[in-house]
Structure 1
Amino acid sequence: MRRDLNLDAIPLEKTADSSRLDAVFRPRSVCLVGVSADPARLNHAPLNLLRMHDFPGDIHLVNPKYDVIDGLPCHRCVEDVPYGVDLALVMVPAAEVPDTLEHCCDRGMKAAIVLSSGFEEIEGGVTLVEQMRRICSEHNLTLIGPNCEGVWSVAASTILTFGSAAKRQRLYHAPLAVVSQSGAMSGAVARHLQDQGYGCSYVVSVGNETDTSLLDVTDWLLDQDDVAHILFFMEGLRDGVRLKRIVDKARRRNVTLVALKSGNSAVGAEAAASHTGKIATPYAIYRDVFAQFGILQVDSLTDLVEIAQVLLAMNPPRRSKQANQGGVAVCSIPGGTRALTADLCGANDVPLACFQDETVDALEQNLPRFGYFKNPIDLTGQVLSRPNMLNDALEIVAKDPNTEALIVQFANRGLHDVRKYEDALARIAREYRLPVVVSLLSDEMPPEERRHHAESGVFVARDPRDAVRWLAWLYRVRETISCSGQESGQERQGEIQWAPSDTWRGTLGLLDKVGIKTPRFAVLRPVQDAARACADLVYPVALKAMPEDVEHKTDLGAVALNLHNATEVDRMARTIRERIGKPENDLLVQEMIRDGVEASLAVMRNPDFGAVLAIGAGGVMVELLQDVAYLALPATEIQIHAAVGRLHLSRLLAGFRGMPLVDRQALVRAAARLGDAFLNMKASVQEIELNPVFVRPNGQGVVAVDVLVRRSA
């Protein structure tokens, strides 16, 4: 349920220890530069909204065209504004912004919000950006924007935006903040939350993030008492390496983070040489890093609004004391939705409760004999003609200690029945502290009425899909909270130092340090015959170009497998040298690995998150199946295990269709140590890929047969 808020306890004035963003969200006075007297103009809206919502501080206006606007005196220039105003809202043409900011700093202003557009997004705007950054640095000015829609600080009655979403007589306050790189998207989320009476505490459009980034704002929000949930809309993070610290802080504060990311179809890392680098799209990396850090990711604006409502209004799932027994109880009046709801729970990783025998016996005594008394329950249509039967059944289910949440599925008169059983459903939610979701058969309840039920702890879903989806979000939140801190006690490996080398022999030192074996090998020189070079090897063998000579050997036909004697090696050596056009090059001969599962490991530098680990299927299958998980470094073994568990590779490692179990722990340990080593390398090393890596039967570790090292130009 919504956290009770003591709004009087939220300070509106800065203190000596206050954050530099306090002046943005709790200013004592504001200056609107470029404000218009015309109510139809966007640059009049901030003045209108400040007065509409009773901003408690002083409002100063600047526009050389006017002496008075709406009864307030208007200054001709910023230099005429009294010294020491906290915040400037700048709405002048882009070319005038740097000089305006200089004048604001001269008048003692410590923060500014620039709504103006026309910077990085147009030709020639970069110079203006550089000037603004210099001003921020020299004067310690906090800047939001430019090209943004402004901010809301509801408890402080500070609504500094031209967005129409705030144009209403009352703003509902709730412990939820919206932070967006798009003004329209933040306004849309806020509008829906206000229209339906849920509310929010802060709305921030960061725009171009010239000075203050989305994560800067988030860091400040995590210190606020009226923030329990933060919703993001983002295209990307320019400072994603800070994300882990931000997430750790959110966990300590029990603040839920939810993200909707756009720009997912652009192909990233175009210059990457490895297979894993080629498929490292923004979507793949963001998706997996969010999962690594416990950030909920949604796929649409509708989901972003709905998850806000769910987080604000619903109880979290109870926790059963019996391992693997707790979950959702489904009580269905129409028999046809039982299996459908169970299928949806399975697809969304929502557990179904396993009832105790006493619960099943009590249901059997209470319900018609042709009902079904285990989960999911078939209540039968008879309960609607006998209200006490339904009430008793819900009570029995709610008392079961393995019931963590409740779905009640009504039939074709669902809207009527929700109203009829309103008090009983609310009592179950309240007394047993259960999230209760009532599911309809594609019927739409009016938003005001849905909000009324939500205030009682009962959420009304249009159909079973929505009901299960909402509970899936709550379970993911609970899982994130329960995992908080579990990795803090894990011992990390000692620092791994390796002098980067592009050669096969040079990389053997790295492989040894991270616990990865290599096959027995020989180097076949142009002047040697295979019989002499391979005298100590056991056939069959593989022959290939040296890793430092050719990046994608399979594509060029520079690999030959299962060669059974020296004659075959000599013949294929000539062929490979011809194919790569390097007749004088050495070739690598390796004993064939005959068992194990092929995987791949890679570490690379990502522009958003810094050092990133990739782990997934091996060989050419990594590109074909794109069965790869990405983790921001450093990554713990617990996080790597979880990432592997989401891959199809996991089934192969577990012994798919009678295959032997392989050494998954050795793969995870090697991945963690490879990540540690990469963090200690010079930035000139852009990427290292081990592909394939053979994960051998339990106790036999992992073996890498190919290594690719890519450096910056």
Structure 2
Amino acid sequence: MTHRSLDRLLRPQTIAVFGGREAARVIEQCQRMGFQGEIWPVHPTRIEVSGRRCFKSVSDLPAAPDAAFVGVNRISTIDIVRDLSAAGAGGAVCYASGFREAIAELADGADRQEELVSAAGAMPILGPNCYGFINGLDGALLWPDQHGMTKVERGVAILTQSSNIALNLTMQMRGLPIGYVVTSGNQAQTSLSDIACGLLADPRVTALGLHVEGFSDAVALQRLADLARRTKKPVVILKVGRSEQAQKAALSHTASLAGSDKVADAVLARLGLGRVETLPAMLETLKLLHLGGPLKSNAISSMSCSGGEASLMADAALVSQMDFRPLQEHQLPRLRAVLGEMVTLSNPLDYHTFVWGNLERQTQAFATMFSGNYALNLIVLDFPRADRCNGEDWMTTVEVVVAAASLTGARAGIVSSLPETMPETVALDLFEKGIVPFSGINEAISAADIAARIGASWHAPFPQSLLAISAIGESIETLTENAAKAELASAGLRVPKGCVARSAVEVIDCARTIGFPVVLKALGIAHKTEAGAVALNLGNETAVLQAAESMPASGGFLVEEMMPDAVAEIIIGATRDPVFGLCLTVGAGGILVELLQDSAVLPLPTTTAHIAAALSQLKIAKLIAGYRGRPKGDFRSLIEAVAQTAEYVAKNAAILEELDINPLMVLPEDQGVVIVDALIRRRR
């Protein structure tokens, strides 16, 4: 894959603008932000645009521009892009619509997009159908509209497929220093991952926020994650579409568990990319990452002068992995001495108002709290309205937080419970002082959670590259249960001793050979329990014959040994995600699959450590561990079975379409695990 350099396009010294009204707006925005480079308007009939001399064509320009904003119709856009590429320009923003996004209205939309990509050749283009970008570090804007950004020396970058969302984000009043806002449009040539890597290449960028409607390339996403980790610039992603499901195979339980969104969650976690739920959460997370990067652990502290606020903080952490770790022994006497006997010493801490407005005592209290080796120390503080109230004591508290952080070297943030009670002027001041200004309690906890997860991921070794093997073949065959089990047995997995019978009479001979009691199943039926196509614990010939005669069994029968009672039943499956390929799913199996929806996705390839961690997070893990005095399950054999399944899937990734082991019976300790039912669909 060719990765075009975006340096000249994103950080231009010379800008050419094509068109009328949109071109004038681009010039205006560059002038307002103080762009110091050359701007060259191009128009075939005009003498000047926005007071600047106009050139008639690309060939008339003084030199090949670093960047060009092409704000003309779609047909002319293709011609101009071709001329720019031939002249050696650094790149172009294609503003026009009417390409692949409009294929429902314009039959030639897809063809025009292919023509545009061909015209661009080696020159990078953004779009078509996009606003372009704002470079707030250099004051370079290929942006035909107003916006809310100001010039900064360093800051975060935000990248989105939506021009309107980009515009909205520039209007934030949360104090976040934004270095870039970039829109990608159709991504006809340059993908989101390519743009993201280009943004991370700027040493002034501290972190990246990505709003994405979907991923198109797992390899490119991995490249972005690797670059983020190498450059120590964390990436957070807001991916919309949690309700989407991957393509479902009607025969499989696994497909219902491993929707594309759940797979995306697992892949992002594997790659060390944070995932946020909302735009406000993305902005608040970027604030924290901008000031100091990921957190070293999930241990946090909180202080407020209200029990209600302390409760809100504690409740917000319940849906995260953040830990309000108890106070350490050395903190207790010092806090007691400063705060008095009436304060309950805990974390979160309600310090009441006994030291409110007292700079010396408040600093002692806060510094003591900050000395607990927490990854982040939070102070809940809602600022009063400046037009009606006196905020002097609140600013004293700000001084205290700054002093306590300086004394202890701890990371700190001030959290307003309401977004509007963190004024932009205060937020900007806090950033200058190295204190994170959080707008919203839930958003602050979410930001800390994501920063801690990224930190933990970066602390571990670099993950293995994702399994990137394309499927081959067209038609798909479904193996019989017996054939599927034979495949898995050859991979080292344990299956029951069994025998295939073609008639009700033959099942008796099979049962005698295996030995009673036996299990009888009708072949060729997907969900056997629901169809009455399975009978358990048949202890004699009569019972076997009666069961066979009552089953719908046009495909014959499978007779197997009856396995002992299991501690738990597990599902192991693999489905082919449209973007990320084959991923493994593990979870509560048997009849509990849809009932509990207790599952985890493991991107491939995986390790025994990742498998053990995923299994330990399942609700059913308590049952395997010996719930309320029940026997413990063979957890070690379960891990080994999942690892063997993962290896089988990886080896057969080119032809395997779907795998469904359900249930895998987890027997008591040291007795192993055994596959009771299995489905394999593969390409011919």
Normalised to the residue count of structure 2, the TM-score between the two structures is: 0.88
2:397 counterpart residue number: 421
1:112 alignment partner AA: A
1:636 aligns to 2:620 (yes or no): no
How many pairs align?
663
User: Which of 506, 512, 515 lines up with 1:535 in the alignment?
Assistant: 512
| Aligned-residue CA RMSD (Å) | 3.2
1:85 counterpart residue number: 65
The structure-2 alpha-carbon separation of the partners of 1:99 and 1:450, relative to structure 1 and needing over 3 Å to count, comes to closer
The structure-2 alpha-carbon separation of the partners of 1:80 and 1:375, relative to structure 1 and needing over 3 Å to count, comes to closer
Residue 211 of structure 1, CA deviation: 0.9
1:625 counterpart residue number: 596
Query: Is the 8 Å Cα contact of residues 572 and 662 (structure 2) preserved in structure 1?
Result: yes
Query: Is the 8 Å Cα contact of residues 194 and 220 (structure 2) preserved in structure 1?
Result: no
User: Which of 134, 139, 160 lines up with 1:152 in the alignment?
Assistant: 134
C-alpha separation in 1, matches of 2:403 and 2:193: 41
C-alpha separation in 1, matches of 2:414 and 2:650: 50
C-alpha separation in 2, matches of 1:342 and 1:106: 61
The structure-2 alpha-carbon separation of the partners of 1:484 and 1:250, relative to structure 1 and needing over 3 Å to count, comes to farther
1:333 aligns to 2:305 (yes or no): yes
The structure-2 alpha-carbon separation of the partners of 1:49 and 1:381, relative to structure 1 and needing over 3 Å to count, comes to closer
Residue 214 of structure 1, CA deviation: 0.8
Query: Is the 8 Å Cα contact of residues 241 and 610 (structure 1) preserved in structure 2?
Result: no
C-alpha separation in 2, matches of 1:513 and 1:261: 40
Query: Is the 8 Å Cα contact of residues 61 and 75 (structure 1) preserved in structure 2?
Result: yes
Query: Is the 8 Å Cα contact of residues 269 and 280 (structure 1) preserved in structure 2?
Result: no
Residue 503 of structure 1, CA deviation: 4.0
1:64 alignment partner AA: P
CA deviation digits over 1:587-646, x for unaligned, max 9? 343423411311111122211112222121212422333222223322233333333344
Residue 238 of structure 1, CA deviation: 0.7
Query: Is the 8 Å Cα contact of residues 353 and 404 (structure 1) preserved in structure 2?
Result: no
The structure-2 alpha-carbon separation of the partners of 1:640 and 1:66, relative to structure 1 and needing over 3 Å to count, comes to farther
1:567 aligns to 2:542 (yes or no): yes
Unaligned runs of 5+ in 2: 385-389, 468-476
C-alpha separation in 2, matches of 1:452 and 1:251: 29
CA deviation digits over 1:242-273, x for unaligned, max 9? 32343233222222110111122233213463
User: Which of 376, 400, 409 lines up with 1:433 in the alignment?
Assistant: 409
User: Which of 1, 6, 11 lines up with 1:26 in the alignment?
Assistant: 11
CA deviation digits over 1:135-154, x for unaligned, max 9? 34xx3232221111212333
More displaced stretch, 634-643 vs 17-26 = 17-26
2:147 counterpart residue number: 165
SS at match of 2:12: coil
User: How is 1:195-344 mapped onto 2 (pairs within 5 angstroms)?
Assistant: 195-271=173-249, 273-313=251-291, 327-344=299-316
Residue 182 of structure 1, CA deviation: 1.3
User: Which of 344, 347, 356 lines up with 1:384 in the alignment?
Assistant: 356
C-alpha separation in 1, matches of 2:461 and 2:171: 32
SS at match of 2:65: coil
Residue 377 of structure 1, CA deviation: 3.8
1:544 counterpart residue number: 521
Residue 346 of structure 1, CA deviation: 4.0
C-alpha separation in 2, matches of 1:446 and 1:603: 50
C-alpha separation in 2, matches of 1:381 and 1:87: 57
User: Which of 460, 469, 472 lines up with 1:483 in the alignment?
Assistant: 460
Unaligned runs of 5+ in 1: 1-16, 320-325, 493-499
Query: Is the 8 Å Cα contact of residues 355 and 374 (structure 1) preserved in structure 2?
Result: yes
More displaced stretch, 231-240 vs 376-385 = 376-385
Residue 65 of structure 1, CA deviation: 3.6
CA deviation digits over 1:469-488, x for unaligned, max 9? 44334333332332344x67
1:521 counterpart residue number: 498
2:472 counterpart residue number: none
C-alpha separation in 2, matches of 1:408 and 1:112: 46
C-alpha separation in 2, matches of 1:651 and 1:286: 26
C-alpha separation in 1, matches of 2:356 and 2:171: 38
Query: Is the 8 Å Cα contact of residues 618 and 691 (structure 1) preserved in structure 2?
Result: yes
Residue 382 of structure 1, CA deviation: 2.5
1:118 aligns to 2:109 (yes or no): no
1:133 counterpart residue number: 117
C-alpha separation in 2, matches of 1:349 and 1:45: 46
1:686 counterpart residue number: 657
Query: Is the 8 Å Cα contact of residues 435 and 458 (structure 1) preserved in structure 2?
Result: yes
C-alpha separation in 1, matches of 2:45 and 2:289: 47
Query: Is the 8 Å Cα contact of residues 317 and 435 (structure 1) preserved in structure 2?
Result: no
Query: Is the 8 Å Cα contact of residues 633 and 675 (structure 1) preserved in structure 2?
Result: yes
CA deviation digits over 1:442-477, x for unaligned, max 9? 571322113212432334556654553443343333
1:89 alignment partner AA: F
C-alpha separation in 2, matches of 1:344 and 1:682: 41
User: How is 1:573-592 mapped onto 2 (pairs within 5 angstroms)?
Assistant: 573-577=548-552, 582=554, 585-592=556-563
C-alpha separation in 2, matches of 1:622 and 1:375: 38
Query: Is the 8 Å Cα contact of residues 91 and 114 (structure 1) preserved in structure 2?
Result: yes
Query: Is the 8 Å Cα contact of residues 266 and 601 (structure 2) preserved in structure 1?
Result: yes
Query: Is the 8 Å Cα contact of residues 221 and 227 (structure 1) preserved in structure 2?
Result: yes
Query: Is the 8 Å Cα contact of residues 521 and 557 (structure 2) preserved in structure 1?
Result: no
Residue 202 of structure 1, CA deviation: 2.5
SS at match of 2:355: helix
2:432 counterpart residue number: 455
Residue 110 of structure 1, CA deviation: 4.9
Residue 513 of structure 1, CA deviation: 5.0
C-alpha separation in 2, matches of 1:640 and 1:317: 25
C-alpha separation in 1, matches of 2:200 and 2:43: 36
The structure-2 alpha-carbon separation of the partners of 1:364 and 1:281, relative to structure 1 and needing over 3 Å to count, comes to same
The structure-2 alpha-carbon separation of the partners of 1:410 and 1:267, relative to structure 1 and needing over 3 Å to count, comes to closer
The structure-2 alpha-carbon separation of the partners of 1:252 and 1:340, relative to structure 1 and needing over 3 Å to count, comes to same
